[in-house]
Amino acid sequence: MTHPIIAEGRVAVVTGGASGIGLAAAKRFAEAGMTVCLVDRAAERLAEAKEAVAALSPSGSVLTSHTDVGDRAAVEALAKNLFGRFGTVHLLFDNAGIQPGSDIFGPVANWDAVLRANLHGIIHFAQIFGERMVAEGEPGLIVVTGSKQGITTPPGDPAYNVAKAGVKAFTEALQHDLRNREGCRIEARLMIPGFVFTPLTQKGRTGKPEGAWTPEQTADFMLEKLGTEDFYILCPDGEVTREMDEKRIAWAAGDLVENRPPLSRWHTDWAEKFKAWAKGT
């Protein structure tokens, strides 16, 4: 069982839909009989992705849009086109993201690119499509892809962490707004993947690491959880259990509550204390 909005005759828009989790989810939506629009800035991958998704669709109704999610005017134009053509969009999988890497004092171009795509791109689609979805009055769903890095903020890629922390805060605010709108039939969910082997995380590797999930495993887990009332869809993987995720998240919150050093999980005075605490010793 999954969310009732995922059904024949409905329209789904998937950003970052040419690869990874976006493509895997788009295939599932197509199998359910939905009309699917794949949005991606990688034009060369869109045609191949369209063919793969259409092969699974009973109707073969698959569209593509070569759109930069960070370009608000382009997102507005896409929304105008799709709502004009279909009347409404029932499901927005707001998923696009990049990860070129960053350092605190590293190239500003990396910071600008990550924030533009991973934060502003998410916001553009949720605002522009979400407002239209609410106005149409039909049931609908907005699923936003966050990250555990936006919750526990590990060292190594601060721009990505900042963007995903913003995505978490934005999606929480989005769902709060939607549930308090009189007569609103749209809801939001936050999807939080684990370690998934995608072009974003591949980093030169040709084979999937043993502990990583495939995009298909992640999409299937997401669809299952969409059939529940869970807002936070916290995905495990082959290395990290739900229990360990909960401990890491609780410890990160404890840095503030207990006034420990920031990122104490990786601090020389606290790292072993975290490991002992996580083991329950």
Average of pLDDT values for 185-195? Answer: 97
What distance in Å separates the CA atoms of residue 26 and residue 32, rounded to the nearest whole number?
A: 10
User: Nearest-CA neighbor of 218 among 75, 82, 19?
Assistant: 19
* pLDDT mean over 172-179: 98
pTM of the model: 0.96
Predicted local confidence at residue 280, as pLDDT: 87
Confidence label for 57 from pLDDT (cuts 50, 70 and 90): very high
Three-state SS string over 213-277 comes to ECHHHHHHHHHHHHCCCCCEEECCCCCCCHHHHHHHHHHHHHHHHCCCCCCHHHCCCCHHHHHHH
Query: Does 160 qualify as catalytic in the annotation?
Result: yes
Which residue did the predictor score with more confidence, 231 or 281? 231
Average model confidence (pLDDT) across the chain = 96
Range 197-207 average pLDDT? 74
Q: How confident is the model at residue 235 (pLDDT cuts 50, 70, 90)?
A: very high
Res. 204: pLDDT tops 70? no
> Which residue among the candidates 29, 111, 160, 221 is catalytic per the annotation?
160
- Give domain limits for the chain: 11-240, 243-281
Q: What is the pLDDT of residue 60?
A: 80
- Domain 11-240 grouped into CATH 3.40.50.720: yes
pLDDT of residue 209: 86
